[in-house]
Structure 1
Amino acid sequence: MGLRERKKLATRRALREAAVRLVLEHGLENVTVEEVAAQVGVSTRTFFNYFGTKEEALLGDLPGAFDEDDIRGFVRGGPTGDFTEDLITLLIAFLVDTEDLAAQREEMRLRKRLMDREPQLVPGVLARFHDVEQVVARAIAERLGEPPEADRPQLAAVAAMAVMRHTMRHLHYSEEEDVERVRDRVRSAFRVLGEVYGPGTG
């Protein structure tokens, strides 16, 4: 990545951090785009080069984007050949920053505080996760050889994202919760779903 791109990423990150900090201190309705830009030392016009609205800055890159290689690997039947394990691997790679877990722990703590303080942001988060859900549904459909709108890929994607939301909501983001611990939690959640909806459940 070149110097210009690094600077742009740094500015975007600084604007988002300033927006989150100000909103946590003063509340969403009491913070303006101008104040956010001023905190970073840039113009309002620069702010709008990165974000369309104050709310968009607060949500940042939540969620991000899947790695195309990860999706292709899953579609082809990898990395283990077991559907659930491979789906867990895909979701973990997307939602867990294995390169900088400490930074992600702090990010998730801030995000939780932000959602608790400003619940009106929650629909925006859910809308973004719906988009991710459809990416997962298409990948599952391709792996199963079914249309993306078919019941199996759609329901599997809905269940997968529900499992991930449940898992992320119940993490403590402590040093003990490494990637393998998160994987175990996700695996356990899928197992519970299977038991609840399995044959003979009373």
Structure 2
Amino acid sequence: MKTSVDPKPEGLRARKRRATENAIELSAVKLALENGVNNVTVEAICEMADISRSTFFNYFPARDYAIVGRAINIPEGPDAFAILDTSPDNLPLGIYRLLFAAIGHSKVNTEVAQLRMQLLTTQPEAARISQLSMAESVGPLIATTAAWLHANPDRARIDSLEREAWLAAMTVHTVVSTQLAELAQLDPDDISLDESGFHDFKADLQKVLTAR
């Protein structure tokens, strides 16, 4: 079984699309750092990124998502269950795979990550918008996970399926947040996340949670 979080190898078209997306995000975050989140306009982002307004909205539904990151459209039903089924005895890993399947790639631009981290720690409004964006993804992720557990109750580890779904989904959210924070410390580049990072985090989390 393939263990990479990449759903498929990235072709030229996908690389070009990601390059445009990175240019939009970099422009948005730089403008937010320079002028404040509330003073950033779509027009200014387009000018800095050298794109049209229509191109911007082909990538992002609203200005805020370009600044702090878009909400992820989490798959539901059979498509989601098929991914979770690849790791029935390790639900967080299955959710991790589901999350990156929804994103469509596992690439992270470390410059964007670094600037966003700076923005979130210096501008409370950016942190508020980021939390709202994340909530748009986390809620459906928990719901999809809970639905899978109800369809596969023999895979549950605790009596409350809703609590297990919440704990598993929030564990993955913490994994990804920690990975992004660590990547923000690296030199600007495109980095591919892989499941080795997930397993390392899980091992460290178990050490932290183990009573002395």
TM-score, normalization by structure 1: 0.65
Partner of 2:93: 89
Equivalent position to 1:143, from 136, 146, 152? 152
Aligned equivalent of 1:115: 120
Q: Of the candidates 187, 201, 212, which is equivalent to residue 185 of structure 1?
A: 201
Number of residue pairs the alignment of both structures matches? 182
Measured after TM superposition, the shift of residue 123 of structure 1 is: 1.9
Picking from 35, 47, 63, the partner of 1:38 is 47
Measured in 2, the distance between the counterparts of 1:8 and 1:170 equals: 26
Alpha-carbon contact 2:80-2:144 (below 8 Å) kept? no
After superposition, residues 71-90 of structure 1 pair within 5 angstroms as 71-72=81-82, 74-75=84-85, 78-79=86-87, 82=89, 86-90=90-94
**What does 1:59-74 align with in structure 2 at a 5 Å threshold?**
59-63=68-72, 65=74, 71-72=81-82, 74=84
Partner of 2:160: helix, strand, or coil?
helix
CA 1:126 to 1:188, structure 2 compared with 1: closer, same or farther past 3 Å? same
Q: Is the Cα–Cα contact under 8 Å of residues 27 and 48 in structure 2 kept in the other structure?
A: yes
- Seq. identity, %: 24
Is the 2:32–2:40 contact (alpha carbons within 8 Å) kept by the matching residues of 1?
A: yes
Whether the aligned pair in 1 keeps the contact of 2:25 and 2:112 (CA below 8 Å) is no
Where do 5+ consecutive residues of structure 2 fail to align?
1-9, 187-192
SS class of match (1:52) = coil
Q: Does 1:156 align with 2:164?
A: yes
Question: How far is 1:132 from its partner?
Answer: 1.8
Deviation at 1:19, TM superposition (A): 1.1
C-alpha RMSD of matched pairs (Å): 4.0
Select the structure of larger CA radius of gyration.
1
Q: For residue 188 of structure 1, report the CA deviation from its aligned partner.
A: 5.2
Alpha-carbon distance in structure 2 between the residues aligned to 1:62 and 1:110: 18
2:57 maps to 48
TM (normalized to structure 2)? Answer: 0.63
